[in-house]
Amino acid sequence: MMMHPVQLSALLLSLCVLGGCGNDANGTQSADASVQASSAAAAAADTLTGEPPRVDLTEVGFDKGEPGSDKVYVIEFSDFGCVYCAGFHEDTYPALRDEFIDGGDVVWKYVPVTIGGFPNTEWAAAASFCAAEQDDFPTLRDRIYSERDAWMAASEADAPGLLTSFARDEGYDGDAFEACMARPETMETVESTSRMAVEVGIRATPTFVVAGYPVEGAPPLESFREAIQELLAQIRTPADG
């Protein structure tokens, strides 16, 4: 039997935590704001009687995993300057990737956004798009997170060169990467992607859209794992009758 929307909403609501970066002056989401958002989501789940609105983001971001009708789809909106996004990618994502993405159960889409007001975050996002042009988004994404303090501390003039040096270190074509970083179209893509994210309601990072349902904040590994396992069980259980 498929999970009722109310049950699914309650399951995903349990992922909500206080750790996240917002778009205020400090780039951090207040605990009060998170509690209010969670309370509002809980109230909506209590009265939900039909299928909630879903977000179609098939044309943006970078996918990892093989598509299929029996997969759980996760969309992650993250800002490279956000400490909670960095922590998620250092502490939680690798285990989820190894178990569920590489295991063939999850398709994960990463969408770089720049809504937190962090120093040089637009250049970091641009670098990730340039890495994707060379068909290797994940390697530089991980390097950008690990070098977060360095590129955030750089001057705006020096940040593109520093990020390009990371790409060269990781084996990317440095000249092609440098040219990509210099193209106005690259920054236009960064800006349009973030604008789209705001238009669909992304207010904080990281935000995950799990099976079509938004979850704000960086969930603990075990909570995320349990939610994915439950969703997989529902997807792969034959319908009654």
pLDDT tens column, 193-231 = 999 999 989 999 999 999 888 899 999 999 999 999 999
Q: What is the pTM of this model?
A: 0.81
Element (H, E) at 160: helix 159-169
- pLDDT greater than 50 at residue 33: no
Q: What sign for the dihedral angle of Cα 134, 139, 145, 151? A: negative
Q: Structural domains in the chain?
A: 5-235 (3.40.30.10)
Q: Give the mean pLDDT of 117-121.
A: 97
Strands ordered across the beta sheet of 207-210: 62-64, 106-112, 72-78, 207-210, 213-216
> pLDDT tens, 60-71?
889 999 999 999
Nearest to 127 by CA among 159, 90, 83, 169: 159
* Angle at alpha carbon of residue 142, lines to 100 and 110, rounded to 5°: 55
